[in-house]
């Protein structure tokens, strides 16, 4: 049976699928074959207006529900997502090309985690009471209003939920624009939220390229923008939001360091480097792509890494045995091939991979460069593909300076058996999300986000609440009020 990849319509607005074929057609390409599997249309100005007015109109009634009521609906949506994990994972694999082995473990499930976590928190959100002699102040934690979410293509279900769950928990409504490269999954998130009882207009999805995102951000009906994307897009979105003094969350790119000391467990360190470079074919923002390996263990590390990479099962991503899939698009494949060529030209030693491996689909081998120096392009620029740069070091202070010598600050990791060094290094990293003897864990309970150019604000955890709500202070005078005249 062919899996139904064509959605009922392009957009989901005010509780229903909406189509407007006047919008620019967007072909959805299955990365494993390069073949078209669906088509949607970019939102026209009329569709954008419909989505924003629906979100605006629905907001007050949604915010007026108790937290318990909002939370119950979100938790019900989490249950539905888990029940449909198989179908959602198959669709995620069609949308992104990521192996089913991954999508069935981390995509709809992490989306459900966010809905469950924030749904559970909804009833606990409170203001505070501040006594001032006999007078007092109380604070109310209030919704921001209408939030726009804009997604990248690597985790379409997760991003739709990581933004939607805290936004809705706080009483906001949302218009979500998925990446034009992966437009399918967010529609399912919207469907499930409505099936669970989210009122019409509270969570809407519109399709389109950057122009649609730009039109959403600049609209006066919008109070907050949350973007997951690259730094160049972040600069534009942040600037557009600033013009309207809108709240922002920016989850942007990275070039994160992973430092492996010579006392590390090499097997675990290799696992960390694999998880931090080749999961999702390297298309993960927090990847530790600058792998600093102590000179004493460098060759042992490289040898074991190559052995383990030979065990990657590259093939049809819908096959549960496949552990490494294609790049999301021909364009992304071209970018990766360009960086592999640059690495060779700039003098790095190619120790594994480097080649396209299939004629159809956007496949490229997991690739490792050694003897990489700090100034090489593959050590400085975000590639967003399966290309690991291994750099040598000997001294802790020196490697910390080099690890932090980047404008990015999303993530960082360290492998060592030395307890105090592990925490000293974590404290010294200029990055928002750090790992000790692990890499790329992103549980909903922990704040996730970047420093420096990698972003503003935090997703997940209690910290996200501060980015989707605002405090109102109410001063209450108990006695007479004096004035100067
Ligand atoms: P991108 O910046 O090209 O696009 C991201 C989204 O922004 C897309 O939906 C796009 O249509 C939209 N967009 C583009 N121009 C816009 C504009 N002017 N106004 C409004 N919206 C606009 O990113 P991508 O190629 O889809 O994703 C890869 C990037 O995302 C990488 O840099 C990666 O590191 C980053 N990323 C970050 C995180 C994180 O949580 N920090 C997670 C995943 C991906």
For 243-256, write each residue's pLDDT tens digit: 999 999 999 999 99
Q: How far is the CA of 210 from the centre of ligand 1 (A)?
A: 9
CA 231 to chain centre: 13
**Location of structure tokens 């249950």:** 79
pLDDT band per the 50, 70, 90 thresholds, residue 2: low
Query: pLDDT tens digit string along 82-103?
Result: 999 999 999 999 999 999 999 9
Give just the sign of the alpha carbon dihedral 91, 95, 97, 102: negative
- Record the pTM: 0.97
As a whole number of angstroms, the distance between CA 190 and CA 186 comes to 6
d(CA 351, CA 333): 20
Full DSSP string of 199-240: PTTSEEE---SHHHHHHHHH-TT--EEEEES-HHHHHHHHHH
Question: Which tokens belong to 146?
Answer: 């209408």
Mean pLDDT, range 145-158, rounded to an integer: 98
- The DSSP output letter for 198 is P
Please write the tens of the pLDDT for every residue from 51-79: 999 999 999 999 999 999 999 999 999 99
Written as one string, the DSSP assignment of 252-302 is: -----EEEE-TTS-HHHHHHHHHHTTTGGGG--TT---EEEEEGGGHHHHH
| 237 Cα: distance to centroid of ligand 1 (angstroms) | 10
Structure tokens at 330: 């021909």
User: If pLDDT is split at 50, 70 and 90, which confidence band does 360 have?
Assistant: confident
Buried/exposed code over 40-64 (b: 16+ C-beta within 10 A; e: otherwise): bbbbbeebbebbbbbbbebbeebbe
Nearest to 439 by CA among 286, 337, 297, 295: 286
For this structure, is 191 an active site residue? no
Reported as a single tens digit per residue, the pLDDT across 292-350 is: 999 999 999 999 999 999 999 999 999 999 999 999 999 999 999 999 999 999 999 99
Atom of ligand 1 lying closest to residue 233 CA = 2
**What is the Cα Rg of the chain in Å?**
23
What distance in Å separates the CA atoms of residue 148 and residue 163, rounded to the nearest whole number?
Answer: 9
Is 185 considered catalytic here? no
179 alpha carbon – ligand 1 mean position (Å)? 7
**What percentage of the chain carries pLDDT values higher than 90?**
99
| Helices 396-404 and 419-428: angle between axes, nearest 10 degrees | 30
pLDDT bucket at 1, cuts 50 / 70 / 90: very low
Task: Measure the CA angle with vertex 242, ends 237 and 247; round to 5°.
Answer: 85
Q: Closest by alpha carbon to 77, among 177, 172, 198?
A: 198
Could you tell me the two tokens for 74? 């979100």
CA-253 nearest atom, ligand 1: 34
pLDDT of amino acid 102: 98
Residue 85 near residue 108, CB atoms below 8 Å: yes
DSSP state of 170: T
pLDDT digits (tens, 9 = 90+) for 411-450: 999 999 999 999 999 999 999 999 999 999 999 999 999 9
228: nearest Cα among 156, 329, 334, 333: 156
Nearest atom within ligand 1 for CA of residue 250: 41
pLDDT band at 41 (very low <50, low <70, confident <90, very high): very high
Compute the mean pLDDT over every residue in the chain, rounded to the nearest whole number.
98
Q: What is the pLDDT of residues 223-248, one digit of tens each?
A: 999 999 999 999 999 999 999 999 99
Question: Which protein residues are within 6 Å of ligand 1, measured from CB?
Answer: 150-154, 177, 179-180, 209-210, 213-214, 217, 228-230, 233, 236-237, 251-254, 285, 382, 384, 410, 450, 455
């Amino acid at each position: 049976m062919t899996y139904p990849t064509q959605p009922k319509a392009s957009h989901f607005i005010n509780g229903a699928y909406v189509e407007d074929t006047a919008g620019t057609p967007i072909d959805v390409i299955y990365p494993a074959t390069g073949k078209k599997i669906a088509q949607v249309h970019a939102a026209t100005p009329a569709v954008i207006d419909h989505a924003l007015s629906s979100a605006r109109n629905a907001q007050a009634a949604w915010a007026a529900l108790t937290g318990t009521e909002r939370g119950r609906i979100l938790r019900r949506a989490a249950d539905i997502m888990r029940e449909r994990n198989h179908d959602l994972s198959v669709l995620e694999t069609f949308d992104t090309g990521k192996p089913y082995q991954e999508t069935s473990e981390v995509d709809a499930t992490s989306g459900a985690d966010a809905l469950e976590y924030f749904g559970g928190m909804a009833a606990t959100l409170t203001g505070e009471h501040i006594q001032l002699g006999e007078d007092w102040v109380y604070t109310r934690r209030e919704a921001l209003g209408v939030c726009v979410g804009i997604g990248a293509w690597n985790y379409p279900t997760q991003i739709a939920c990581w933004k939607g769950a805290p936004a809705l928990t706080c009483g906001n409504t949302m218009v979500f624009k998925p990446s034009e490269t992966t437009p399918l999954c967010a529609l399912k998130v919207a469907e499930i939220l409505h099936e669970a009882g989210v009122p019409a207009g509270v969570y809407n999805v519109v399709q389109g390229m950057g122009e649609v995102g730009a039109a959403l951000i600049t609209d006066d009906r919008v109070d907050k923008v949350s973007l997951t994307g690259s730094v160049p897009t972040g600069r534009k979105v942040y600037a557009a939001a600033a013009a309207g003094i809108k709240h922002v969350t920016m989850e942007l790119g990275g070039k994160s360091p992973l430092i492996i000391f010579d006392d590390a467990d090499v097997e675990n360190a290799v696992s960390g480097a694999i998880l931090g470079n080749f999961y999702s074919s390297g298309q993960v923002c927090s990847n530790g792509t600058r792998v600093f390996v102590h000179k004493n263990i460098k060759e042992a590390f490289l040898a074991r890494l190559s052995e383990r990479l030979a065990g990657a099962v590259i093939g049809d991503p819908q096959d549960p045995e496949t552990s490494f899939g294609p790049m999301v698009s021909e364009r992304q494949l071209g970018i990766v091939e360009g960086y592999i060529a640059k690495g060779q030209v700039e003098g790095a030693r190619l120790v594994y991979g480097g080649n396209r491996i299939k004629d159809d689909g956007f496949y490229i081998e997991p690739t490792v460069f050694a003897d990489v120096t700090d100034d090489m392009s593959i050590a400085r620029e975000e590639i967003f593909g399966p290309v690991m740069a291994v750099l040598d070091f000997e001294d802790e202070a020196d490697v910390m300076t080099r690890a932090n010598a980047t404008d990015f600050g999303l993530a960082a990791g360290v492998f060592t058996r030395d307890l105090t060094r592990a925490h000293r290094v974590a404290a010294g990293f200029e990055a928002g999300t750090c790992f000790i003897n692990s890499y790329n864990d992103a549980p909903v309970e922990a704040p996730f986000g970047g420093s420096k150019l990698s972003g503003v604000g935090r997703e997940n955890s209690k910290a996200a609440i501060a980015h989707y709500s605002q405090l109102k202070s109410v001063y209450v005078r108990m006695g007479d009020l004096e004035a100067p005249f």
